Amino acid sequence: MPLFDDGELDIATFLRDESEEKHEHAAPTGVAALTLGALGVVYGDIGTSPIYAFREALGPVAKDGLQQSEVLGLLSLIIWTLIIVVTVKYVMLLLRADNRGEGGVLALYTLARLAIGRRSLPVLMLAVAGAALFAGDAIITPAISVLSAVEGTELILPSMEEFVVPITVGILLALFVVQRSGTGSIAFAFGPITAIWFLVLAWLGLTEIVSAPVVLTAFNPVLSVTFLMDHLGVAFIVLGAVFLSVTGAEALYADLGHFGRRPIRLAWFLMVFPALVLNYLGQGALVLTRPEAISNPFFLLASETTLPFLVALATMATVIAAQAVISGAYSMARAAVQLGLLPRVTIRHTSHDQSGQIYIGSVNWAMLFGVLWLVLSFGSSSALASAYGIAVTGTMIVTTLLGIIFIVASGRLTLGTAILFALPIAVLELAFLSSNLVKVEEGGYVPLMVAAAMGLIMWAWWRGSQNVLAKAHKQLVGLEGFVRSMGHSSVHICPGTAFFLTPDPTVVPSALLHNLKHNRVLHDQTVILTVETLRTPVAAPEERATWERLGEHFGRLTLRFGFMETPNISRSMALARRAGLKFDVMSSSFFLGRRRPVVTGPIGIERLLDQIYALLSRFSADPTDYYHLPRDRVVELGERVAV
């Protein structure tokens, strides 16, 4: 399938506020339900950050004792990081850059690509980097979230320390195993549980602020600057820990299509942001009044009687956060496949009502392996915190760059004005990235290794696919000339309809040439079928199918799907009939051309990329399953292609 649909498309169509059209005009009860749902899915990750973020930020500073100014400075850093990175960048700015209601780094990439109007390798590389870094983040979030929550049991029963890792492994195993049967049956509880979680966060913080109201001065940004200037020696390390407070912010943008702008904003301003700030301030007040609480200020906010309830609730909240990341990984993988950045994978829908509820077995088990390896290798959330942050900051920087490209290319702002607006955010994110890079040896290498591996895989697949298509195109015959020549041919015509799948509708499919060469027959109706991936998340019904008669025995059918959709040819045939194609299902066959790449180039980096592409092609999902073709109507014809 082609990487892009390069037809003439009006940029204004894609700049419409479609997320507003989808969600903003819903009834108040509908908006309330979406807002509640957004709490569980969008804010699950960032909502569990208070469990470990402030604790990790205190560690480097408290080695020589802790002063009030240091606690206030750290609180100020966390509060203003939440304001600048989450509130300003994501909630107020990026949520406005939607691709027909969808968000995320790949959706933003397609917007930038569309605004530019041509293929751009630097922009493509940014998209690859963003998706690859997301993969690094995806395996760390479930590990550190669940591990940090289970560690709270040590405060109830110190003897539980040796069981923390086994319990964490058991929870994670159950979480990943249940994915296959879908999470729709329990997803309805995510919002209410997370709402209770945020209310508890706010209450715990509020009750403790009363004991040290001085923490309210942390809203003064001067305290942040003063703290950094006074602690230049550990500033980088502290910034890396402070950044843990905004991990999960990318989900605000990635889940735009599921909930819409208004519910996500309402959830943030009415509940999430106040609850997070109150809880961090409460932890600061606790440390000021009880310095010994520095070991675990979050769980020590609770009394001995309520601590078991808090640990249980925290565990549920972290499982929900992990579930949101897993679902996000599925969606990212599907979008990458549709954009030609990954080979076909088997995608199974787990819900008849929601297209976003999918399951990808290869992604699920790869993530489980990575998550369990992290838990067993690092053993504690404090040790794992060193590995956290690099992938998230990298993804945020990619999002900022793609946002600038889109805004400038679409003509919304000039380059100078866009840089002026984005500079404060970019400087802060670069500072966070630099601080996290200091922790590479301590564990930061993990997301970098995962991102590098995923980036190499995506680049090798995209490059290999383009090369194979280019070589195959040179060897194939133009379709229009072929149709004219077949009008005077004496080839035998057999009854029925033959669909020949091809990524290029302008040339004769290799399967058709092989069929003529070996079987010497032509079907009464030969349909050249092309599946196109649009630069939009979901194809509109009116653009789904296009039928064009080419000659007495030939026609061209184009089926279009958005990059967030799973191609389903069988289901789309009803729309093909409406477009004018007439055929009998019982006398129809689908012909597939299977190309097996053979590596022949000299030893070097290009040969390595070719070998990766050849290996990936062997693991690519069966096109019959991927395109949802009727199994008893498929004929496959293969060929070897040198790469």
Task: Report percent pLDDT > 70 for the chain.
Answer: 91
Give me the residue label for tokens 């991936």.
Answer: 533
pLDDT in tens, 524-535: 899 999 998 887
In the prediction, which pLDDT does 16 show? 36
- DSSP alpha helices (H): ranges in 16-82? 18-19, 28-41, 44-47, 53-61, 68-81
User: Which residue, chain included where needed, has tokens 């961090």?
Assistant: 280
Q: How far is CA 165 from the centre of its chain?
A: 28
Instruction: Tell me what pLDDT residue 10 has.
Output: 36
**What token pair was written down for 41?**
């899915």
Highest mean pLDDT pick, 2-6, 35-39, 196-200, 254-258: 196-200
> Distance between CA 78 and CA 242 in Å, rounded?
6
CA 208 – CA 285 distance, rounded (Å): 6
Please state the rounded mean pLDDT for residues 362-376.
91
Query: Domains along the chain?
Result: 33-459 (1.20.1740.10), 476-642 (no CATH)
Q: Predicted confidence band at 357 (pLDDT cuts at 50, 70, 90)? A: low
Please report which helix (H) or strand (E) contains residue 533, including its range: strand 521-533
Residue 15 has pLDDT above 70, yes or no: no
Task: Please give the DSSP secondary-structure letter assigned to residue 542.
Answer: G
pLDDT for residue 250 is more than 70: yes
pLDDT in tens, 478-503: 888 888 888 777 788 888 999 999 88
Mean pLDDT of the chain: 84
Minimal CA–CA distance to 58: which of 381, 296, 318?
A: 296
Instruction: Supply the DSSP symbol for 632.
Output: G
Phi, psi of 400 (to 5 degrees): -65, -45
- Over residues 117-122, mean pLDDT: 84
Residue whose tokens read 């100078």: 416
pLDDT in tens, 160-216: 888 899 999 999 999 898 888 766 556 667 889 999 999 999 999 999 999 999 999
pLDDT for res 356: 57
Quick: pLDDT tens for 561-594. Answer: 887 788 888 888 888 998 889 888 888 889 887 7
pLDDT attached to residue 19: 39
How many angstroms separate the CA atoms of 120 and 177, rounded? Answer: 40
pLDDT above 80 (res 56): yes
Query: What is the per-residue pLDDT for 541?
Result: 84
Mean pLDDT of 343-364: 74
pLDDT tens-digit readout, 415-445: 888 888 888 888 888 888 888 887 788 888 8
